[in-house]
Structure 1
Amino acid sequence: MLNTLLKTTAAAGVLTLAGAPGWAHTLDAMLEELDPATLGEVNFETSCNEQAQAAFQIGLLLLHHMMYRQSDSAFRAATEADPDCAMAQWGIAMTNFHPLWPGGPTPDEMAAGKAAVDMLSGMQIGTQREQAYVGAVKAFYSGEDLSFPVRLDAWAEKQRAVYDAYPDDIEAAAFDALAQLTVAPRGAEAVPELRDAGQRMDALRTEAPRHPGGYHYAIHAYDHPALAEMGLEVARAYDSIAPKVPHALHMPSHIFTRLGLWAESADWNARSAAAVLEQHEGETIVDHYPHAIDYSIYAHLQAGNVEAAMGLLEDLAAHLNLQDSFGSAYAMAAAPARLPLETGDWAAAAGLPTSMNPALTWERYPQAVGMRWFAVGIGAARSGDLNAARTALDELAGLREMMTERGMGYWVTLGDAQAGAIEAWVALAEGDEARARELMTTAAETEDAVGKAPVTPGHVLPARELLGDLLLELGEPDAAARAF
């Protein structure tokens, strides 16, 4: 249905798709370059005119794939086709806060989302169903000086109420699962919520077998050690509906990583990175590229392919013009640290530069900066430079204060584990074996409790692995084996 609608409305006029990297800037040209059939299928009827409806549905497809910049462009094309299309403004607002991505929107994204919500406040919203969707996105942008988690909670509550009101609405079901994942607890406590969301998306695929949310959100739901096996089939099938979408090519590696399928992870992420560069247009490379490279480097290192990981790191370093986002920042901080930490080159880890890609606004991403200081601190402590290790601890303490002020609870806790690990190795170097064991054990338990964030394939060096190393140093191979 979507393909037919697009082909019949494309001839009616030209829609500007400003800023859609790698894709044409008119709807009819876009149809030649980007076959909507390669994005999956949705069917969300709105009160907009036919041409706006066509662009809206492309935006919605891309929104479910979390291709946010391209999705934003399609929704803006819908507003040009129909200035009274309220759901296009809803779409613009939805593209700018990224529910499952850590860090929250940038100031520019927040401003763009609020501008769309302001437009909605002065528009006639067509149906009660549309009003419900608009009310949910408004909840995220309401209020001043609220933290990202507080805003997410407000959105998720309203979004889940949409599904309660419209239980037969496939889109409501998909966004309900996304909202459920957004507010699910961390660690082992998350399993019931994640399993429920995943199984509901499995059921959605039965009803709508080409709906991108049924694939994407299921993979996120099963991205947990206790559930990963349940996600393998859907992970391997995602490219059947979206063979050219960079994030769709990356997402299966979340499951491959959980299951140790390193060759598949490296291969799919290589496809994802190549798709980004192939579709790239303009000065800025979107954050799907460094994200895929970080995952691929991790996979190669787990398989012992150090040379391949080094080659990818060189490729990443050659692309400095990255999108200023947390996804880029995390990859640029973590990927170079993985190499010396995984290979035990502690002096190289201690010598990692603390000044990173100047295209990124690092004060927005203290948790990413913390990853780099953690690597430096561990490297320094394990190579005997205790003064440098203490400097790293001071830097982490300052970042902790910043993250606490911003309500970044997960990253504060993870930072505590990182600082505790450095302190443990400093204590070991000073001869205090009992304190070293206590600190490192606590760090491992803390890190285990919070798990990993979706943005990362794995911690740059897991605390429990560091505990195993420390126990080996203490001459306890059996206890070390249990830790490993």
Structure 2
Amino acid sequence: MKPKNLVVFLSSLLILFTCKDDSQKIDLASLNLLRGDLQLCGSGQFGELKFSLSCNYETRDDFDLAVALLHSFQYADAEKAFVKVIDADPDCPMAYWGVAMSIYHAAWFPPSEKDLIKGAKVLAVAKNLAMDEKQRAYINAIDAFYADWQNVDHNTRALRFEKAMEKIHHDYPEDVEAAIFYTLALYSTRDRVGKDYKNERKAGKILESLFADNPNHPGIAHYIIHNYDNPVLADKGLETARRYAKIAPSSSHAQHMPSHIFTRLGIWEESIQSNIQSAESARCYKQAMHINDGFFEEIHAIDYLVYAYLQQGDNTRAEREYNAISASTTVHPLNVTAVMYPLAAIPARMALENKNWNKAASLQLQETGLDWEKFPWQKAIHHFARALGAAHTKDFAQAEAELLTLKVLHQKMLAENDRSIAIQVKQVEIQMKTAEAWRHFSENATKKAIALMQEAAALERNTSLHPLTPGDVLPAIELLGDMYLAMNKPEEALMAYEENLNKTPKRFNGLYGAALAAERSGNKEKAIHYFQELIELTKNSSSLRPEIVEAKEFILQS
């Protein structure tokens, strides 16, 4: 090659590599990656794991910490930890994988458009890096979720990620993390409405097979609880629930998550202790991040805490916990959709569980700085409570207006045509039928009322509980029992109460209703049993509810 041509060639080569480097720099600069100190409260213990696909040896501890944080849904800190690896080793593809995983939130609500754009850009950088075959498989798996997100719906992309992780799990059976992330993918594509729990059973079996050899792994424990977080499988998760908080004691979510199993099984005292610890941990994070407004982890813990106190008949402690968050007029933007649920559900529960119909009818939505119209599922809970309150106080005009609002919200959710909210759509449909049933009942149209209430109960039997919630605001099957009891049909009422207690054990109103129905149907033995259960349930609370007085008087006279 002539010298002149050689100079041109080398210059062109230099420009080519310079452009490539500049392109990568531009991509990195446009990613808005989270940086800064990790907010690690407590001892900084998030469990133990070793992910063999990390890059430089010097970054391995940071990488493993990032994965542990990811497994306990400490998403913001997980991203910061992965970015710390990127800053130290920008050629590490798995660090970019970690950022993309941190903004997916597979077990939660679908990522926002902003997150989808960010994830796609992060992976575009990663795919241009040198990597081995296994790393490439991991990158391609999460890329299957982000690819073509503008044209392909969330559920299809989530299923693509699941199939890709299944292949990695099959190709590398010794890879513990591949197995664990495959189970997370299975959970993300589960049937969110039905009750066959096919994916949950499959994931649970894989996770249980790993737990003995990895007893301090946060992801294994966490995902076992998620997959068994339903009335059918909850008892399989009890041992794990009692271990997870000790595995990752510095995670607020790890302190809270066991209460999902405790709640399904009606183990209220353990649920209370779990959520007290979670709320305290969340407040530590709030202080560290200088957050003064409502914070998801704290509000979520208080939702479960209030529910547990109400099942013990302890209104005093339930009100105290609600007062701790009711003054918040703004909410921290992380997972806003989830924050809005308890802000609607807690005051509704407190009125409805106590059958304080006047209070229910006059509930007002808490000011949050956000538009409630953008949260139709959560807003429907509020109008459902007002509808029941209006029906029981015979304000028929308000009852009709609240029912109309429920129907509008239901149509709005249907119009979204989003399979990821199918369970919320079903729950609002159940609320609509229930509200209409009680309006008819208050107008003495009992035949139509009981038919609608039976329809609501049938829908509830075939609809899973949303994993965010500690329970239905009021179970339709329990309300069916209330209606039968009010119609002086105690035998039918007892059947309904017992069916619901089988699904949601040790509910205060369920036990009281069953005791009352048994007494009125002449089944003294069952009445004693249920009244004694109610007394035992509330022995550790300072309950002033009249039902407890009635229960104790009945036992004394028996």
- CA shift digits 1:259-292 (9 cap, x unpaired): 1110110111010010011122133654111111
Provide the secondary structure at the position in 2 that maps to 1:66.
coil
Give the corresponding residue for 1:75.
82
- Change in Cα spacing, 1:80 to 1:319, as seen in structure 2 (3 Å) is farther
TM-score, normalised on structure 2? 0.77
The Cα of 1:191 is off from its aligned counterpart by 3.8
**312-321 or 180-189: bigger deviation:** 180-189
Give the corresponding residue for 1:8.
none
Please say if residues 350 and 375 of structure 1, whose CA atoms lie closer than 8 Å, have aligned partners that are also in contact. Answer: yes
Q: Say if 2:45 is the partner of 1:42.
A: no
C-alpha root-mean-square deviation of aligned residues, in Å?
2.2
Provide the secondary structure at the position in 2 that maps to 1:84.
coil
The Cα of 1:315 is off from its aligned counterpart by 0.5
**48-57 or 293-302: bigger deviation:** 48-57
**Unpaired runs of 5+ in structure 2?**
1-32, 498-558
Match of 2:379 among 359, 369, 372: 369
- CA shift digits 1:30-66 (9 cap, x unpaired): xxx7755x11111112353234433221111011111
Give the corresponding residue for 1:282.
290
Q: Structure 1 CA distance, aligned partners of 2:491 and 2:38?
A: 53
Within a 5 Å distance, the mapping from 1:298-447 to structure 2 comes to 298-324=307-333, 325-354=336-365, 356-360=366-370, 362-406=372-416, 407=418, 408-447=421-460
Q: Structure 2 CA distance, aligned partners of 1:19 and 1:435?
A: 61
Letter of the 1:464 partner, please give it: I
- CA shift digits 1:372-395 (9 cap, x unpaired): 222222222222222222222222
Q: Structure 1 CA distance, aligned partners of 2:364 and 2:157?
A: 35
**185-194 or 471-480: bigger deviation:** 185-194
> Looking at CA atoms only, which structure, 1 or 2, has the larger radius of gyration?
2
The Cα of 1:357 is off from its aligned counterpart by 3.6
Letter of the 2:326 partner, please give it: A
**190-199 or 383-392: bigger deviation:** 190-199
- Change in Cα spacing, 1:437 to 1:64, as seen in structure 2 (3 Å) is same
Match of 1:271 among 277, 283, 286: 277
**171-180 or 302-311: bigger deviation:** 171-180
Aligned length: 456
**Unpaired runs of 5+ in structure 1?**
1-15, 24-32
- Change in Cα spacing, 1:61 to 1:404, as seen in structure 2 (3 Å) is same
TM-score, normalised on structure 1? 0.88
Provide the secondary structure at the position in 2 that maps to 1:39.
coil
Please say if residues 39 and 212 of structure 1, whose CA atoms lie closer than 8 Å, have aligned partners that are also in contact. Answer: yes
Letter of the 1:311 partner, please give it: R
Give the corresponding residue for 1:139.
144
Give the corresponding residue for 1:244.
250
- CA shift digits 1:71-129 (9 cap, x unpaired): 1221122221222222122111111222222x3223443343333233334x2151222
Q: Structure 1 CA distance, aligned partners of 2:379 and 2:104?
A: 21
The Cα of 1:217 is off from its aligned counterpart by 0.7
Q: Structure 2 CA distance, aligned partners of 1:365 and 1:108?
A: 19
Within a 5 Å distance, the mapping from 1:64-103 to structure 2 comes to 64-101=71-108, 103=109
The Cα of 1:213 is off from its aligned counterpart by 1.4
**398-407 or 273-282: bigger deviation:** 398-407
Q: Structure 2 CA distance, aligned partners of 1:226 and 1:181?
A: 16
Q: Structure 1 CA distance, aligned partners of 2:369 and 2:132?
A: 43
The Cα of 1:308 is off from its aligned counterpart by 0.4
Q: Structure 2 CA distance, aligned partners of 1:47 and 1:64?
A: 16
Q: Structure 2 CA distance, aligned partners of 1:145 and 1:290?
A: 35
Give the corresponding residue for 1:220.
226
